[in-house]
Amino acid sequence: MVWRGGQGWYGRMLAAAVGVTAVAAATSVWTAQAGPVERPGARAGAPAPSSSAAGTHSQGPAGVPVSAVIAHASDLGARGVNITIDDGPDPVWTPRVLQVLRDNGVKATFCMVGTQAQAHPDLVKAVVAAGHRLCDHTVSHDTTMDKKPEAYQSQQILDAERMITKASGGVRPMYYRAPGGAFTPFSRQLAASHGMRPLGWNVDSKDFERPGTNAVVATVQHEIANGPTVLFHDAGGDRSQTVAALREVLPWLKQQGYSFGFPVR
């Protein structure tokens, strides 16, 4: 697996995807709405507006309609915060992140890479047992998959879904987050048709770049007004700064009157 660090690793968030697409020769049409703009040096965009346009929901396997529009909002409303943890599970850092979350009584959404989940099923089960939610983060974390054929996108999303579900003991991912924000209209619709809401973010903590614990904390504190969904990592390298930052950020958010929820479905 190749992990990309540095300034540009998560800097390439999809600026907008507005249009219509036909999927698998179906006649239904859906609207793809813009996610947050993620460019080096740019502020994360505000949550995308919700859409009531016909066709923006797909029927998931459980019979509950799942929107194909990228989610940013919290199920707890304006004072809710969604903590999301990407790229694991990792045998060193995921247990430490879980402990910090446990100590603060916080539930999070873990966006798991399929090969990582397959290699560490005990950690996937631990995440589920602690009451956190699962998110499909593809098989191999290819940040260029938006430029790949639809067959490749499908393989990356659906194989990861199967890997995570098997590793968890049967608990399916509730969300899909494209690596680096590399969503396409096709991938959004495909994920939604499998009951996984596409998941964006509003605040990139920049923890992947390891700028120092204080810098990670300051980024979250300064940017939380942009929206509720905050991006952290539990894999892809040394995540000691992430663990330390979470120890500071979670109590601080509580002090500001925020509660911790999950992304809307």
For 15, which DSSP code?
-
pLDDT tens column, 27-49? 222 222 223 322 222 223 223 33
pLDDT tens column, 58-114? 444 555 689 999 999 999 999 999 999 999 999 999 999 999 999 999 999 999 999
Cβ contacts of 258 within 8 Å, gap of 6 or more:
79, 80, 81, 224
- Of 8-17, 109-118, 252-261, which range is least confident? 8-17
| Burial zone of 61 (CB within 10 Å; 0-12 exposed, 13-18 middle, 19+ buried) | exposed
The helix (run of H) or strand (run of E) holding residue 133 is: strand 133-136
pTM score, whole prediction: 0.79
Q: What residues act catalytically?
A: 86, 233
**Band of pLDDT at residue 133, cut at 50, 70 and 90:** very high
Q: Mean pLDDT throughout 240-245?
A: 98
**Band of pLDDT at residue 265, cut at 50, 70 and 90:** very high
| Burial zone of 225 (CB within 10 Å; 0-12 exposed, 13-18 middle, 19+ buried) | exposed
